[in-house]
Amino acid sequence: MTKKVGVGVIGCGDIGELHARIYSEVPQANLVGVADIIESKAEYVAKKYGASTWCTDYTKLLKNEDLDLVSICTPEPLHREPAVAAAEAGKHILVEKPLATTLEDCDAIIKAAKKSGVILATGFENRFVPDFVKVKQYVQSGALGETLMSYARMNVSRNTARMVGSRVTKDKFGGEILEEGIHIIDTVLWWINDKVTKVYAECVAKLMVKENPNVEDIWLVTVRFKHGAVALIESMWIMPETWNPWSKPTEWLKWGCDFRFEIVGTDGAVYLDLFPTRLYAVDKEGWKFPFVWETYLPDLYGRIEGGLKMELAHLVECIAEGKRPMNATGEDGRAATQVALAAMKSAENGTPINVDSMF
């Protein structure tokens, strides 16, 4: 029998707890321990999901000889130090998106992982959602011909803006594009698989600034690729709360809103329409559009299924069996962050940004 992979989680917020739960359900994983600066939170997650240890100092967790892989789930600007420390301790790493909020931090994480020879994955679970994989397969088949254009939309409710706020960028706009928009930036880069040369972006900030002066509403980002393709990325977090006001059934996740994608090539086109979802209902509470596009689906007979589960389970399996994982790499994470930062710079300057000359 293949030896179980010892895993740990650094950062026990909502996403960190979700990682811990998933690892506890993956047969080839052994949840060794968790770390969080709030001890009660680390203890709660550890005991709930069967981890043998918990601590407030992640360096103590990294000294555990049974630990093979660690998920970095700290707040976005705080990924660098634990990721570099994990690499230096010889642990494989999955860093939740974005890989980092600066290219300097991205490069430091990538350099440390390469120096230690450990796997570095960036947490982009769209790459494990069947619908998105089918689009990738279509493009790779050659049926599309030469890619000419891509359009991607990912619009969520303002509850997300209130939850994230200015946590990612603090005193300037950009939290949406680095926190939410980064998902579809990576998806488009993965599908088109070409070097980005130029980015132009417009940012709208009228609604959420009334609640938080550094939270924007909408991003429209145009990306030009080396071989001529153009992508238009639309990302916002101001869809009204009335989109998902229901109380029953409690199992229906409310996060999903408006997702649409397409790629046009010289020989064809491919479309992915997730608006509002494939499942909907209406009753005394009104219309209901649950989040069912398979990113993560808690409480499916008491277990989590979906893209995030597949992402983590695949990485564990590859480590256990010595295979090359298909997860987004550190370089993939850097590329997505680079586009997001270029978009922020473009919106600030009002001009297109030549990616190579900027960084």
pLDDT of residue 292: 67
- Predicted TM-score (pTM) of the model is 0.95
Number of domains in the chain: 2
**Tokens 């983590």 label which residue?**
312
Boundary (domain end) residue, out of 66, 97, 118: 118
The predicted-structure confidence for 276-303, as pLDDT tens digits, reads as follows 667 788 899 888 877 765 566 666 788 8
Q: How confident is the prediction for the chain on average, in pLDDT?
A: 93
CA nearest neighbour of 34 among 3, 5, 65, 72 = 72
Contact 173, 344 (CB under 8 A): yes
Residue 53: half-sphere exposure toward Cβ, Cα within 13 Å? 20
Same domain, 178 and 102: no
Same domain, 216 and 340: yes
Boundary (domain end) residue, out of 69, 84, 118: 118
Read off the pLDDT of each residue in 100-111 and give the average, rounded to a whole number: 98
pLDDT of residue 300: 75
pLDDT of residue 241: 79
Q: Determine what percent of the chain falls in helix, strand and coil, rounding each to the nearest 5.
A: 40, 25, 35
Same domain, 61 and 192: no
**Tokens 């993560």 label which residue?**
296
- Position 107 pLDDT exceeds 80: yes
Residue 320 in any domain: the answer is: no
Q: How confident is the model at residue 359 (pLDDT cuts 50, 70, 90)?
A: low
- Decide the pairing of beta strands 147-157 and 230-239: parallel
Over pLDDT 90: what percentage of the chain? 80
Boundary (domain end) residue, out of 60, 84, 118: 118
Q: How confident is the model at residue 306 (pLDDT cuts 50, 70, 90)?
A: confident
Domain of 72 in residue numbering reads as 5-118
**Largest Cα span, the chain:** 59
Q: Indicate the range of 120-134, 246-260, 285-299, 322-336 predicted with least confidence.
A: 285-299
pLDDT of residue 288: 83
Read off the pLDDT of each residue in 123-141 and give the average, rounded to a whole number: 95
